[in-house]
Amino acid sequence: MTDQRSQSGADIESETVIGLEVHVQLKTESKMFCRCPGDYASDEPNTRACPVCLGMPGALPVINQRAVEWTVKTALALGLDIPQESKFDRKNYPYPDLMKGYQISQYDLPLSVNGHLNIEVDGERRHIRILRIHLEEDTARLRHRVDAAGEKYSLVDVNRSGLPLMEIVSEPDMRSPAEARAYLVALRQILRYLDVSTANMEEGSFRCDANISLRPKGSETLGAKVEIKNMNSFRSVYKALQFEADRQRIALRKGEPIVQETRGWVEDEEVTVSQRSKEHAHDYRYFPEPDLPPLRIDPAWVEEVRSSLPELPEAKRERFARAYGLGDFDVEQLTEERVKAGYYEQALAALDGGASLEQAKAIANWMNGELARLMNHAGESMQAVKIRPEHLAELVSLIDAGTISNKLAKSTIESMYATGKPPRQIVEESGQTQISGAEALRAVVAKVLAEQPQAVADYRAGKEESLKYLVGQVMKATRGRANPQEATRHLQTALADAPTSVGDNQVQPSQEQKRQAERL
């Protein structure tokens, strides 16, 4: 039996070693080796199947070229090398969800090898090596049921069988559950930037098996490896690895063996449980798939695929920080999705004469602040937002021009989100343009000073807080339409010019000023 025991009990400081195998469903229109539609999730069981999916005698597979292209595209984005020769193999094993008794996969000549993915955890940058990315077909799906008598049984749904599936295999370079989670988040982001997969863990299009072991710190020898399955969220991966590392560490301190096995994550109980022993390597009896020709990868075609790569998240983050003077938070939020980053730059491009650094920051603030709040409240994605990028740019321009205040802008963007109307139309229809004209503000200031003699007296007695109170009264009187800076300046001027004593006839507005203030 393969095991690992503590060499000196509790005195040894252990190091966690983690490697991940990620399976990614490609969102091609058809399956990997037949013409059955690839979009199966919302269909009734066994309605997306054909003789190829079912493994019927005489049914011949045909390679989906787009799936090969997208696998190569993913590999290039992750810095992998593309060999000129590749082939498909039969991986033989009996299991209820594998009607043929074998899976078409890749063994010794995968589509790509030797890449990496950079991650950052707690300010520390880590370089995670990727061993290989190969292409295979997905299996069918078992649906477990309980009948009226309480007996358990399983049904086979063939809809998923034959979907193109990339397997991305990392080296055991991760040293904590946090690093594993960061790796998965970064990998999913790249896949979505490439638009090759929905990469949704909850739906099963992004599935992860984790291998974890412990070893004495500083040692290069790997300990007994435990594989963890059944994790369907980033939180599950983090929790399962955390639990398993603690379980193994406690066992080693007690001098107990770590058995090489497969364990399943039980979400409700937040524990891993033993599923099967992996004492011996499983003999899959790989051999070249006889019904498919070997692949010859043209280097010129690889370069053509490389030229189609979008700007990837890491490069985009660096450029946003450099070009627009944005901080880490804004950069991370804006580049979270490719569509969001594109929206941001479209908004900048819509500003007349190009965006200044101040405007770039202002648009980032609106997107990461009010717009994000509205989206979260509605449970909507960036694709569903009715506000067009040029309308967000127009909102910032209206604020810069003094047409509306920041307070009014907040209510305006809410109307924009609900209706899709441009901000200028909303402001004109509501009649809520900002009051910044000298005569109009002087009228309101005079009225407020006349109505607030105690605040005036306090200010003249040296209480600076009274000025803020008076500004608030001006904003209240104008229902938020006054420019706060202009209101402050007019108040300071009026208080400086007015008599030092406050009597019944001091600091009183004229009849014309009263009429202007009442109209506001």
8's CB contacts (< 8 A; 6+ apart) are none
Q: If you compute the radius of gyration of the chain from its CA atoms, what whole number of angstroms results?
A: 32
Rounded Cα gap, residues 31 and 51, in angstroms: 13
Rounded Cα gap, residues 93 and 359, in angstroms: 60
Distance linking the first and last C-alpha atoms of the chain: 86
Q: Bridge-partner residues for 152, per DSSP?
A: 146
Please report the pLDDT score of residue 437 as a whole number. 62
Rounded Cα gap, residues 296 and 218, in angstroms: 43
Task: Give the DSSP per-residue string, 395-462.
Answer: HHHHHHTTSS-HHHHHHHHHHHHHH---HHHHHHHHT---B--HHHHHHHHHHHHHH-HHHHHHHHTT
Please report the pLDDT score of residue 12 as a whole number. 65
Its pTM stands at 0.84
Rounded Cα gap, residues 8 and 13, in angstroms: 10
Rounded Cα gap, residues 495 and 429, in angstroms: 36
Please report the pLDDT score of residue 225 as a whole number. 92
Please report the pLDDT score of residue 475 as a whole number. 81
278's CB contacts (< 8 A; 6+ apart) are 225, 227, 260, 261, 262
CB 351 within 8 Å of CB 324 = no
Question: For residue range 306-356, what is the model confidence (pLDDT) as tens digits?
Answer: 999 999 999 999 999 999 999 999 999 999 999 999 999 999 999 988 889
Per-residue pLDDT of the chain in tens (520 residues, 90 and over written 9): 444 444 444 456 889 999 999 999 999 999 999 999 999 888 899 999 999 999 899 999 999 999 999 999 999 999 999 999 999 999 999 888 898 999 999 999 999 999 999 999 998 999 999 999 999 999 999 999 999 999 999 999 999 999 999 999 999 999 999 999 999 999 999 999 999 999 999 889 999 999 999 999 888 888 899 999 989 999 999 999 999 999 999 999 998 999 999 999 999 999 999 988 766 667 889 999 999 999 999 999 999 999 999 999 999 999 999 999 999 999 999 999 999 999 999 999 999 888 899 999 999 999 999 999 999 999 999 999 999 999 999 999 999 888 888 888 999 999 999 999 999 999 888 776 766 666 777 888 888 888 888 888 888 888 888 888 888 888 888 777 777 777 888 888 888 875 544 444 444 444 544 454 454 4
Rounded Cα gap, residues 133 and 168, in angstroms: 5
Task: Give the DSSP per-residue string, 298-367.
Answer: -HHHHHHHHHTPPPPHHHHHHHHHHHH---HHHHHHHTSSHHHHHHHHHHHHTSTT---HHHHHHHHHHI
H helical segments located in 90-223: 177-194
Rounded Cα gap, residues 406 and 484, in angstroms: 10
Rounded Cα gap, residues 253 and 155, in angstroms: 44
Distance of CA 433 to the CA centre of its chain: 37
Please give the order of strands across the beta sheet that includes 271-277: 112-121, 124-137, 164-170, 14-25, 206-216, 226-231, 261-266, 271-277
241's CB contacts (< 8 A; 6+ apart) are 16, 18, 177, 180, 210, 212, 228
Q: Which of 425, 32, 103 is nearest to 287 (CA)?
A: 103
Q: At what angle do helices 438-451 and 484-497 cross, to 10 degrees?
A: 60
Rounded Cα gap, residues 415 and 411, in angstroms: 7
Please report the pLDDT score of residue 336 as a whole number. 96
Rounded Cα gap, residues 316 and 332, in angstroms: 10
Please report the pLDDT score of residue 505 as a whole number. 41
Q: Is 266 helix (H, G, I), strand (E, B) or coil?
A: strand
